[in-house]
Amino acid sequence: MANAESRNDINSPGRGGRRWAEIPSKPSQDYDKRSVLLGKNGWVLREKYNGKDSSSETRLTCSSGRKSNFPVGGFYFVFEYTVINENCPGAEWNIMCRGCCEYDQIRCKCPNQGDVIGYAVPCCRNEANECDPCIIHPECGGVINAKRGYIAIESYPTNAHCEWTLNVNPQFTIELRFSMLSLEFDYSCRYDYVEVRDGDNVDAQVIGRFCGNERPPPIRSTGNSLHVLFVSDGYKSFDGFHLSFAESSVVMCRSPAAPPHGMTTGDDFRFGAQVTFHCEAGFHLEGNRKATCQLDGTWSSETPRCVPDKKRCLDPGPLLNGYHLLVLGADDTPIIVQFFCNSSYKLNGEFELMCQPDGTWSGQIPECVKLPEKKHCKEPEAPVNGYYILSRGPGDAIIAAQFFCNNTFALSGNPQRTCRQDGTWSGKTPVCVKGCREPKVSDMVRQKVLPPHVTSRTTPVHKFYSFYSSSSSSTSIKLQNEVSPTKGPPVVEELPPGFHPLYTQLEYECASPFYHQTGSTRRKCLKTGRWSGRHATCLPVCGKFPNLNLQKLSDARWPWQAAIYRRSTKILKNESFKDDWQLVCTGALINQRSVLVAAHCVTELGKLNVIKTADIQVVVGKYHLSDTKETKEQQQLRISAVILHPNYDSLVLDADLAMVKLLDKARINEKVQPICLPEAQSMDSSQPQAFVTGWTILSEGVHVPENETSRVGAIELGDTVDCEQQYAQNGISVSITENMFCARESKHQFSNICPSDTGGIAIFPVSSTSTAGGQKDSGLVWQLLGLVSWGYEQACKPGLYTVYTRVASFKDWIEKNMK
C-alpha cells in the first residue's frame, strides 16, 4: 500500500459530505503494463485488508476491465479503469483534479519497499476551505520491449519528467503515431512537451519536439529503438497525450550509382541511412556530398558530378617599387591580379592579368620604372581681354590652366593648357577676339550669313583729307592711306564654333509663305560684341484665305475651323462597353497651341465642371463631316488644359467662352491656319458683312452622309432691343448682356447653315491695311467675331435671332492666356 504523509487526515470520512467507497478484495494476479484511463475529477479510494482499515494507506484497485461506481457530490460517476499490478502504482497511472490546490504536494511511499513512488495533489476545497482528498501521481517512464504498444498521459501533473525507451526486433524499425496531443503551446515548446529521439537514449538524434494540440505526422525510426521524453513545468496542465507504436518492416533504397571518376562509401541502404560520394584525384565534387534514404525508398539528392579540378594560378610575388592585389573567386582561388606602383614610379606593362585555365597568368608581370623628376610650371600668360583659372595638384603644384574671355570677346584657340614633365606648357596661349555669338532663331526662320563688310561713309572731315590729296607730295598720299576713317576691318584669327567675326551680317526670311516675319531682316555684328537690330521671328499668318470665292461659299474650306470631340461610351448588345468620339462643337484656331470654343461645349450640362482633358479631342484640317474622309490631312491634337472664363454663367450662358490649350502643336499649312482676333473696338449692326461657319451636329447613332461638309451662311447683326423683343414674343424672356450680340440669317446672301442647331463661329473680313499687325499685302484678312452660344430649340427659321459670345469683349483675357 502507499503511505500518504500529510497534515490532513485522509483516513477520515470524506469531507464536505463525501465518503470513501470500499473495494472488496485485493486482486491476486499480475497484469501487463497498460494505460489507466480514469475520469477527470475522480476519487482515490481507501481499501480494507481482511476487514480492517488501513488508516495510513490509500489504494485504487479493481479487476481488469471491471466497472466501479465512485460517489461524486451524492451521485455516482461510472468509469472504466485497469490496474497495472498489485505493487506500487506504475507509470501509466496519471490522473489529476483541476482547479485549486495544485501547489500543495504530499509525498507517497510504498509500504513494502518504502520507496517514494509519487506525490499527491489535493484537488478540491470543501466548505471549510480545506483541500480534499488527494490523488496519487506515480512515477513514470521505463523500457518497453514489445512489437506494439501505447503510452497515455492524461491530466498530467506539474513538474513531470518521464522517459520511455521503445525497442522492437533488430531487423525492424518503429512507426509511432499520436492519437491525441493536448499540451501547453509554445512556439519553441519550452514548457510542456513530448520529445522523440531516433535511438535508445537521451543523446540520440532528435526527430522532433511537440506541444500544443496539433498532432504531428507519423514518425519512423531508422533503427529498432525510439526514446520518448515527456516534460511539464510547474504551471499550466492540459489533457496530455496518447501515442501508439508498432513494429515496421525496414525501407530499403537501391544502391546509388557512383559518379564517373568517383565512388561511394556506405553499405547501409535502409531508411535513414546515408551514403557519401567521393571523387578521384584531380577531380572535385559538384552537388551534394551525402544522400539519405527516404521513407519512399528514394535518395534525398541526385548523384553528384565529378569535374576536373581547375588549375590554380600562383601568387606572382612582390612587385619591386610597387604592390599587387589579388581578386579571389568563389573557392578562394586567384582569378585576377592588379598591379600598382609607388609614387614617383610608373607601371610598365599590363595593369591587370587574368588567371587562365592552364594555371598561368594572361601576360608578363609588369615592372615599376622610375619617373623623371617633374619640374614645376610657372603661371601662364593671360590672354588680352581674358583671364585663366589654375588647377593644382599635390604640393600645390600647377598642373593645368583653363582660359576664358571677358564679355563681348570670344576665345580663339585651345581653352586649356597642361603642365608637362619638363616644366613647359602644352599648346599656345589662346587669343580673345571681338566677335558675336550667333543668335538663336526658330526652325521657321531661314538664316543667311554674309561675309564681314564695312561700307565706306563720307563725313565732313573728309574735306580735310581731300585738301591733302590735291597735293602731289608722297607725304600727303601716305597720310591719307594710313588714317582713312572708313577703311575695312582687320583680319582676325579663327573664332570658336557659334561665333561670328565683327561686321558679319545675317539675313533672315521665313521658310514658309504661311508665316510672316517680325524683327529685323538683317543684323550686323558690332564692335561691342552685340548684334544690331531686333531678334527675328516668324509667326503664322492669321486670317489669310487668298483663294476664297465669295460667290461659292459652299465650297470654302475654312483653315481655322477646329472640330471639338468628346468621348462617349456606348453599350453594345452583349452588354460590353465601347468608347467612341462624338462631334459636339466647332471652335476657332487662334495660334498653334490655342483654340477658342464656347464654354458650354467643354463643361457638364448646366454646370461649371470642366470635362477631363482625356475626354476631349481637337481635330484641325477637317472639311468633311465624316471622320473616314481626308484622314491624311487631318491633325488630331491632344489637350493639355481647358481654361474656363472666370465670369462664365452656366445658367444664362454669360461669358460663354473657354480656351483649349493644345499639348500637340498644330502644323501650319495651306489647310491649317489661325484666324485673327478682332480689333479693340466693338462690333455693331453697322458691320457690312459677316458669316457663320460650322459642322452639323448629329445625334449619336445617326448615319453621317458621305458628302456632308462644313456649312456656311451670311448673317446680319441685330439690335439688342429687337432681339430681346423677338424672344419675348416667342414666350422666352431673355436679357442680352454686353458680352453677347444677336445675329440672324441674311435675306440677300447664301446660307446653308442653322447656327442654333449646328453651333459654329462667326467671322468677318476686313481689308489688310486695317488689321492689327499693319499687314500691307493685298486681299482680305478674316477676324473672329463671335462664337454661337444659344438660340431657339424649334426648327430653324431665317428671321429668328441666334445669340453669340462677343469675342472682342474678352480680347485682353484671350491674349493673356494664349501666350
- Please check whether residue 595 is in contact with residue 643, taking contact to mean a CB–CB distance below 8 angstroms: no
Distance of CA 8 to the CA centre of its chain: 75
Cell numbers 427659321: residue:
797
Cell triple for 160: 513531470
Which has the closest alpha carbon to 138: 192, 79, 42, 60?
60
Give the DSSP H/E element, type plus range, for residue 587.
strand 577-591
Going 50 to 53 to 54 to 60, the CA torsion angle's sign is: positive
Positive or negative, the Cα torsion across 550, 556, 562, 563?
A: positive
Residue 477 φ/ψ region, left for φ over 0, alpha for ψ in the -120 to 50 degree band, beta for the rest: alpha
Cα angle at 24 between 18 and 28, to 5 degrees?
A: 135
Residue 514 has which C-alpha cell?
504661311
What does DSSP assign to residue 54?
-
Distance, C-alpha 234 to centroid of its chain: 53
Q: In angstroms, rounded to a whole number, what is the distance separating the alpha carbons of residues 13 and 816?
A: 110
Q: Was 233 annotated as part of a binding site? A: yes
286 appears as a binding residue in the annotation: no
CA 665/CA 513 separation, integer angstroms: 18
292 burial via Cβ count (<10 Å: 0-12, 13-18, 19+): middle
Q: Are the beta carbons of 763 and 691 closer than 8 angstroms? A: yes
Give dist(CA 365, CA 585) in Å, integer.
81
Which H/E stretch holds residue 642?
strand 639-644
Distance between CA 528 and CA 551 in Å, rounded? Answer: 58
Q: SS3 helix, strand, coil % of the chain, rounded to 5?
A: 5, 40, 55
Whether 587 contacts 662, CB under 8 Å: no
Element (H, E) at 469: helix 462-469
What count of Cα atoms within 13 Å lies in the side-chain half-sphere of residue 342?
7
Query: Is residue 127 annotated as involved in ligand binding?
Result: no
Using a 10 angstrom Cβ sphere, with 0-12 exposed, 13-18 middle and 19 or more buried, the burial of residue 84 is buried
C-beta separation of 650 from 607 below 8 A: yes
CA distance 557 to 624: 9
In angstroms, rounded to a whole number, what is the distance separating the alpha carbons of residues 18 and 128?
13
Question: If you ran DSSP here, which 8-state letter would residue 426 be given?
Answer: S
- Give CA separation, 635 vs 372, 598, 619, 625, 662, in Å: 70, 21, 5, 14, 12
DSSP letters, 357-391, are TTS-BSS---EEEEPPPPPPPPPPPPPTTEEEEEE
Nearest-angstrom CA–CA distance, 520 and 540:
17
Please give the Cα distance from 401 to 386 (Å, whole number). 13
Distance CA 666, CA 9 (A): 110
Distance CA 502, CA 409 (A): 10
Q: Identity (one letter) of the amino acid at 450? A: L
And the C-alpha cell for 630? 481626308
Going by the DSSP 8-state scheme, the letter that residue 550 receives in this structure is: G
Pairing of strands 690-694, 658-662: unpaired
Q: Annotated binding residues, as ranges?
A: 184, 192, 233, 250
Annotated binding site for Ca(2+): 184, 192, 233, 250
